[in-house]
Amino acid sequence: MKKLLSIVVFSCALLMLLLSVGFVCGNQAAAETKTLTIGQITSITGPMGFTMKTGAESVKPAQDLMNQRGGVTVQGQKYLIDIVTEDDQSTPPGGIAAINRLMQGGVKFIIAPQFAPINMAIAGIAEENKIFRMKSMGIGKDELGPTTRYMFYGTATTLSIPVCYDFLVKNYPKAKRIAIICPDDPGIRSNIEVAEKEARKRGLDIVFQEAFRVGTEDFYPTLTKALEKKPDAIDMVVSIAPWAASLVNQSRELGFAGPVFAPMLGEISILNSLLDPKNAHDVFHGGAYVLSPKMKPMMKEYRAIVEKDLKTTFTMDHTVILEGLYPLLQGIEKAQSFDTDKVVAAMESMKTVDTIYGPGRMGGQELFGINHVVYRPPMISRIMNGQIEFDFVKQ
């Protein structure tokens, strides 16, 4: 009986010890995980709300992916990511109000608005207060340059222009005459300059150039003038799926059968769905087809989260926030600091950067005068006979 009592007492003591250790370790683990708040400014309401809504919807899946992969570790301390979204109401004043709200909350790192005029409107406040802005997909030099020390691009449409012109020359060797038909947006001026330069470099002639008003649906007048110049290909420079679809459909109706391309034409699967099947050919851009089996493991992991959480088809629009967030977290870990000056310096010194599409690098000096652009692996998506082709471009 004594022996049994001793065993019971010992067992109880051991159980209490284990429970105590578990409680302490559990509390310690909880204490060891902190939170890093990152802001996002995007259009939820206003005229740009419909176009940008996927960016707001993608916050939780992007946050969950990064946290499942360990968040970010600084000075041995693990931080989970918490993304706070502010609505810029599709206007520059709304953007200014949004960044002020984030700063009042102590936020130092922001995923910048995709709409260039709003991003440009908040630039002064951000630079003065050393707020680190990462724009997931940059357009041109109006937003980024030597005076924007705290501004970075997760990628830039400019980088895909030479890729597209190389693809054009290789796959459409008879295309010598180019018509440029692009949105009238000051943010894409540097893209037009690069397109002109890349065309000339390859011995191509730009025979027509005209900008259309943002929101245009009727391209027949512009196309009629353009086709009088007998172009072999049409470069839209930068566009979104509805504009690109209207231009392709209407140009085909007027008898144009050549390639239509741009470094970015929006979500390629949406564009394909908007095309008349008989017109769905020889359309390409330098963006991703995210449903391709050639996507990297990280993208496949993210796709599963998006489709499970949002109950929707995965598109390139869901990835935009990640193109900025993922390099930013690598910069913070490289700096081992939340001091934005140190993060800027760390990112400028990074030789390689992992991207959601595979290994990349930092660059931008030659195009923007500042080493603040992530160069992701080049790629081409093309619509042929109503089907989408995709591949990474070998360099």
Q: pLDDT tens, 171-182?
A: 999 999 999 999
pLDDT confidence of residue 69: 95
pLDDT confidence of residue 24: 41
210 in the Ramachandran plot: left (φ > 0), alpha (ψ -120 to 50) or beta?
Answer: beta
Check pLDDT > 70 for residue 31.
no
Using DSSP's 3-state secondary structure scheme, residue 30 falls into: helix
Q: List the Cα angle 321/327/329 in 5-degree steps.
A: 95
Give the pTM.
Answer: 0.86
**What is the average per-residue pLDDT within 108-117?**
93
3-state secondary structure 74-114: ECCEEEEEEEEEEECCCCHHHHHHHHHHHHHCCCCEEECCC
Least reliable range by pLDDT among 117-121, 212-216, 302-306:
212-216
**Tell me: domain 34-158+296-377, CATH 3.40.50.2300, correct?**
yes
DSSP structural state of residue 158: G
Nearest to 81 by CA among 317, 332, 297: 332
- Report residue 285's pLDDT band, with 50, 70 and 90 as the boundaries: very high
84 Cβ neighbours under 8 A, 6+ residues apart: 37, 38, 39, 40, 102, 105, 107
Q: Give the integer Cα–Cα distance in Å for 376 and 240.
A: 21
Give the full edge-to-edge strand order of the sheet including 177-183.
205-212, 177-183, 233-235, 260-262, 283-285, 379-384, 387-392
CATH architecture type of domain 160-291+380-392: 3-Layer(aba) Sandwich (3.40)
Place of tokens 């690109």: 244
**What is the average per-residue pLDDT within 245-269?**
95
**What is the average per-residue pLDDT within 314-341?**
96
Q: What is the distance of C-alpha 175 from the center of its chain?
A: 30
pLDDT confidence of residue 7: 44
b/e code 127-150 from CB counts within 10 Å (16+ = b)? eeeebbbbbbbbbbbbbbbeebbb
Distances, alpha carbon 141 to alpha carbons 208, 216, 246, 377, in Å:
24, 25, 28, 21
Place of tokens 């918490």: 82
Structure tokens at 371: 């080493």
> Residues of CATH 3.40.50.2300 domain(s) within the chain?
34-158+296-377, 160-291+380-392
pLDDT confidence of residue 367: 87
pLDDT confidence of residue 33: 79
Q: Give the integer Cα–Cα distance in Å for 268 and 53.
A: 17
Check pLDDT > 80 for residue 162.
yes
Structure tokens at 230: 């007998």
pLDDT confidence of residue 266: 85
**What is the average per-residue pLDDT within 352-380?**
94
Place of tokens 């049409």: 234
Q: Give the integer Cα–Cα distance in Å for 261 and 338.
A: 41
Place of tokens 């001793």: 6
pLDDT confidence of residue 328: 97
**What is the average per-residue pLDDT within 217-242?**
95
Using DSSP's 3-state secondary structure scheme, residue 72 falls into: strand
- Report residue 56's pLDDT band, with 50, 70 and 90 as the boundaries: confident
Quote the percentage of the chain above a pLDDT of 90.
78
**What is the average per-residue pLDDT within 49-69?**
90
25 Cβ neighbours under 8 A, 6+ residues apart: none
**What is the average per-residue pLDDT within 286-315?**
95
Q: List the Cα angle 254/221/168 in 5-degree steps.
A: 55
